[in-house]
């Protein structure tokens, strides 16, 4: 009964706010995206997202590419762009996406495609080092390393990376990566076949 009442009051509040939408409130818009380092461009999806908020796209791309000049090109970086009413912006570039870091550490390009598939193997020590990198983010100041490690482990579940307490064994890891290469090649082949079949069907 409690949940029903909470839900209805929330829904009622939402309904009431929607009717008052005529009054336009000016918020400074926060844009959260992942932009590849040194590869910011005016092309979609970034160009329209910036343009709609009134940011000078060319200037932004130049500034972003300059700021990420010390980072290898092509690394996805989560960025938070706070656009102010006078069209200037605050740019906050965070450490690379955890999924990219985890995949790099495990030596894989693709995560798992179905449940119960193991895409890679890591040890808790890898997780610790990655957590050290992530902890330098502004958003993760004051967050205990334990929590960051736990969150990375949870992300490993979704990526399909198995985390083990022991150190990684190079021979077994080499064997696993070889098998995995074959599995990934099969998956990509299946995708390409489906796409080709679809093309033929429409023709």
Partner 1 sequence: SFQMLTICRIGGKSLSAVARRSLAAPAAKVVATKEDKSFVETDAAKIASHVCINFYIQGEEPGPAIKEDTAYPGWLFEMDLEKTPILEDIDQGSWKYWRALRQRQIEQNRRIEKLKTRFLHLQNSPSMKK
Q: And the tokens for 142?
A: 């004051």
Task: Give 56 or 143: the residue with its C-beta nearer to partner 1.
Answer: 143
Assess contact for 107 and 86: CB atoms under 8 A. no
Q: And the tokens for 3?
A: 């949940």
- How far is the C-alpha of 148 from the C-alpha of 101, rounded, in Å? 14
- Site of tokens 């996406």: 97
SS3 call for 101: helix
Minimum CB distance to partner 1, residue 62 (Å): 19
Residue from 26, 86, 165, 203 binding partner 1 (CB under 8 A): 165
112 makes contact with partner 1 (CB under 8 A):
no
Residue from 42, 157, 179, 186 binding partner 1 (CB under 8 A): 157
x/- site string to partner 1, residues 10 to 49, per CB under 8 A? Answer: -x---x---------------------x-------x----
Task: Give 11 or 42: the residue with its C-beta nearer to partner 1.
Answer: 11
Which residue(s) pair with 80 in the sheet? 32, 92
109 makes contact with partner 1 (CB under 8 A):
yes
Angle at alpha carbon of residue 20, lines to 16 and 21, rounded to 5°: 120
Closest CA to 99 of 37, 143, 159, 150: 159
Binding site for partner 1 (CB under 8 A): 3-4, 7, 11, 15, 37, 45, 70-75, 96, 101, 103-109, 123-130, 132-133, 145-146, 149-150, 153, 157, 163-165, 167-171, 173-174, 177, 188, 191-192, 194-195, 198
């Amino acid at each position: 009964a409690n949940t029903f009442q909470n839900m209805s009051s929330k829904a009622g509040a939402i309904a009431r706010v929607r009717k008052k939408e005529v009054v336009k409130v000016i918020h400074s818009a926060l844009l959260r995206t992942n932009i590849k380092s040194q590869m910011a461009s005016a092309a979609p999806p970034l160009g329209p997202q910036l343009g709609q908020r009134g940011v000078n796209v060319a200037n932004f791309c130049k500034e972003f590419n300059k700021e990420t000049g010390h980072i290898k090109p092509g690394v996805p970086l989560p960025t938070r762009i706070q656009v102010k009413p006078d069209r200037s912006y605050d740019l906050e570039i965070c450490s690379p996406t955890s999924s990219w870091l985890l995949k790099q550490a495990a030596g894989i390009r693709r995560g798992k495609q179905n449940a119960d598939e193991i895409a890679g193997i890591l040890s808790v020590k890898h997780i610790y080092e990655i957590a050290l990198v992530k902890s330098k983010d502004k958003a993760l100041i004051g967050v205990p390393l334990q929590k960051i490690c736990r969150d990375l482990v949870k992300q490993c579940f979704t990526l399909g990376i198995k985390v083990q307490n022991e150190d990684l064994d190079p021979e077994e890891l080499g064997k696993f990566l070889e098998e995995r290469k074959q599995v990934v090649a099969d998956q990509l082949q299946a995708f390409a076949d489906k796409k080709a079949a679809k093309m033929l069907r429409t023709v």
